[in-house]
Structure 1
Amino acid sequence: MAPLSVFDQLVLHPFLGDLPTGWLRRPAAHGRPVLRHTGYRLFREESPAEHFWLLRSGIGAGSFVGWSWLSPPYRWTLGAAVAEDCHAIEVDAAPVRLLISADPALGRELTARFLNVMGSRLQAARHRLTELYAYPDHPAGASGPG
């Protein structure tokens, strides 16, 4: 059996799979399948944000890694390393930024999807910090300041 094309993998990906076919073909043209092993450094804080990853397996499968590519100065605000072997679609950010600029409707849709996930992640981080600091005797807070 032939491996799935990047387009086919995006069709099956929960984050983008429901986009209209014409829209989905555009970012697919700028992606490639990758396997990243545990410990692999995806990016370092302050380095240029040149890619993002749509995760197909491993921690966070069905979501993405990377959003600093969306707005100037296009530099990573954090660093990231792979916590568990994963298959992903690595997408070149610069051409996707051009796609977003050229098609405002596509741009709004992609930006909204990224922002929704980012908001959920910030909310989860806030809840985690609340657990750590509000309940220092809780197992999750045992390593917190005290």
Structure 2
Amino acid sequence: MTRATKLLTALPPPQRERLMTLAREVSFPEDSRIFEAGGTADRFWVIRSGAVSLDQQVTSVQRVTVASLGAGDLLGWSWLFPPHQWDFGAEAFSPVRAYEFEARPVLALCEQDPQLGMSLVRIVAEILAYRLEMTRGQLMEQYTMHRRGGSR
């Protein structure tokens, strides 16, 4: 298993500097909802400090955490793919500081600089592949524990 790719450190310095011209510093208090599954995905964040839980609503009252993100991690990729709706919900697990990027200006910058656009898509794909592998591992672990518990 490879380690998680960090968006800003994975971009070559000139591309990172161009992207950072679009960044806005934001913060979220502990326990605040950042976005909900199904909502319009028109931005993304790179976490500077704190922790965020990605969750999935499984019943009308129960949410299951599917991933925990921390400093340097990308929060939100749905802005890049139609229909531009969040696949999960996100909640600040602790006070969070982050860089926020609006999708439209980032996409316009990527059209102006196709090399930046290709780098960004490649890095987001690496992040998605890593998270998919981590999720698969967690599901296999839960399945194995469930099977062991069921055979007693």
TM-score (norm 2): 0.74
Aligned residues: 126
Task: Give me the whole-angstrom Cα distance separating, in 1, the residues matched to 2:123 and 2:11.
Answer: 11
Task: Give me the whole-angstrom Cα distance separating, in 2, the residues matched to 1:26 and 1:41.
Answer: 29
Q: For residues 120 and 101 of structure 1, do their structure 2 counterparts lie closer, same or farther at Cα, with a shift above 3 Å needed?
A: same
Task: Give me the whole-angstrom Cα distance separating, in 2, the residues matched to 1:19 and 1:123.
Answer: 22
Task: Give me the whole-angstrom Cα distance separating, in 2, the residues matched to 1:70 and 1:16.
Answer: 16
- Residue in 1 aligned with 2:114? 104
Task: Report the RMSD for the aligned CA atoms in angstroms.
Answer: 1.9
User: Given the alignment of the two structures, is residue 134 of structure 1 paired with residue 144 of structure 2, yes or no?
Assistant: yes
| Partner SS for 1:84 | coil
Match of 1:26 among 18, 24, 32: 18
Task: Give me the whole-angstrom Cα distance separating, in 2, the residues matched to 1:94 and 1:40.
Answer: 25
**How many angstroms does 1:20 deviate by?**
4.1
- Residue in 1 aligned with 2:105? 95
Q: Comparing both structures, which one devotes a greater share of its residues to strand?
A: 2
TM-score (norm 1): 0.77
- Residue in 1 aligned with 2:34? 42
User: Given the alignment of the two structures, is residue 80 of structure 1 paired with residue 90 of structure 2, yes or no?
Assistant: yes
Structure 1 unaligned residues grouped into runs of 5+: 1-13
Once the two structures are aligned, what percentage of the paired residues are identical?
35
**How many angstroms does 1:102 deviate by?**
2.3
User: Given the alignment of the two structures, is residue 121 of structure 1 paired with residue 131 of structure 2, yes or no?
Assistant: yes
- Runs of 4+ aligned residues of structure 1 deviating over 4 Å after TM superposition are none
Counterpart of 2:83 in structure 1: which amino acid?
Answer: P
Match of 1:57 among 38, 49, 53: 49
Note if contact 2:10-2:123 (Cα within 8 Å) is conserved in structure 1: no
